[in-house]
Amino acid sequence: MIAVRRVSRCIRIGSVPVGGNSPITIQSMTNTRTEDVDATVAQIKQLEEAGCDIIRVAVPSLKAASVLGRIKDRISIPLVADIHFDYRIALEAIGEGVDGLRINPGNIGDKNRIQQVVRMAKKSRIPIRIGVNSGSLEKDILEKFGSPTAEALVESGLRHVAILESLDFYDIKISLKSSDVSTTVKAYRMIGEKVDYPLHLGVTEAGTLIGGTVKSSIGIGSLLLDGIGDTIRVSLTEDPVREIEVGKEILRSLGLYRKGIEIISCPTCGRCSIDLIKIASRVADEVKSLDKPLKIAIMGCAVNGPGEAREADLGIAGGKDKGVIFRKGKIIRTVKEEELVDALMEEIEKY
């Protein structure tokens, strides 16, 4: 059972609310060269179609910052500029009309530089995400704790928060990411008790598709079960679209994502007489663009399938070279194996 959701203040990234009672949003980051406007826009549109709510782009230079307005004009979801160290890039990004910044104020120089960025962000009503990573902790904090512990991540995050609060800036979001799942979870639990700012969840450098999915699911899922988290990003060494797909499934598995079709399917066994793996893959591909909030079951056994998946709205259960279509556990059609997917899609359209 999911715990009562942590009470956080609500901020807005463009038109998208984050925190409070708002739905948990899914984010990703482009891997194109930001200066290549056409490629960056094309990837953002792919991500938006996949279900991305907020997109972040790397902004390593003033040249990259100078094209952000052109990118923003061609997309529909909020655009966040990811900036390290150079306050001038932050100022240029704000001037280009981005919807949010990811920048740690303590890393951009003296107080005057910080004040310039904060003043302009406040004027433009742009929130700032403080993004602490285990690989880039301040030297004094690393020396104090000896390693990038959860306590070190929290201290770094609170240091940056204090800088912004001293300048009367509270439009803040926080992330504390480690590639170690236990450290990540502990850090978020700790800071969640100390501040009420919305938290952006993620396990950094999680890995390739399978390993990264497992680490992200455990880390992000554990926190969501605790009621912690307002927005998420699954970090994979993969096509960013896969990050969105995994993020949606994490939320959907906890009942936190109500859009689209949820598929449940059995792992198959010696009783299965149809090519269930092929059928399940085809169904997943056919329904991925549908917005109907349905639960679909793909089961290998016609005897147990409808019963085991009676909570599903619709489903398939296999037999010998054929199968049945069932609705809420009741069989409504028997068709040949090669007709199962088409028959199921017909029922989904009618549902």
Q: Out of 41-45, 204-208, 287-291, which region has the weakest mean confidence (pLDDT)?
A: 287-291
Tell me the mean pLDDT in the region 232-249.
Answer: 96
Q: Looking at the structure, do residues 269 and 179 belong to the same domain, yes or no?
A: no
CATH number at residue 207: 3.20.20.20
**Residues 186 and 66 both lie in one domain:** yes
The three-state secondary structure class of 11 is strand
- Report, as an integer, the average pLDDT of 244-265: 91
- Split at pLDDT 50, 70, 90, the class of 322 is confident
Q: Where are the beta strands (DSSP E) in 184-307?
A: 200-201, 231-233, 262-265, 295-299
Least confident of 13-27, 129-143, 226-240: 129-143
pLDDT value of position 291: 80
Q: Which pLDDT value is given to residue 261?
A: 87
Q: Is the pLDDT of residue 88 over 70?
A: yes
Considering the domain architecture, whether residues 25 and 106 belong to the same structural domain is answered as yes
Residues 267 and 196 in one domain: no
| pLDDT (tens digit per residue) in 290-315 | 888 888 989 887 666 666 677 889 98
CATH of the domain at 289: 3.30.413.10
The long-range contacts involving 63-70, CB below 8 angstroms and separated by at least 24 positions, are 63/35, 64/33, 64/34, 64/35, 64/89, 65/89, 65/92, 65/93, 65/96, 66/92, 66/96, 67/34, 67/35, 67/37, 67/96, 68/34, 68/92, 68/93, 68/96, 68/97, 68/98, 69/96, 69/97, 70/37
Q: Based on the domain organization, do 242 and 296 belong to the same domain? A: no
Of residues 206 and 291, which shows the higher confidence score?
206
Domain that holds residue 248: 11-253
**Is residue 37 domain-shared with residue 106, that is, in the same domain?**
yes
Residues 195 and 321 occupy one common structural domain:
no
Are 97 and 37 within one domain? yes
- Kindly tell me if the per-residue pLDDT of 144 is higher than 90: yes
Query: How confident is the model at residue 350, as a pLDDT?
Result: 87
> Considering the domain boundaries, does residue 2 fall inside one?
no
Q: Could you say which of 221, 253, 285 is where a domain stops?
A: 253
Q: Which of 205, 225, 253 is the last residue of a domain?
A: 253
329, part of any domain: yes
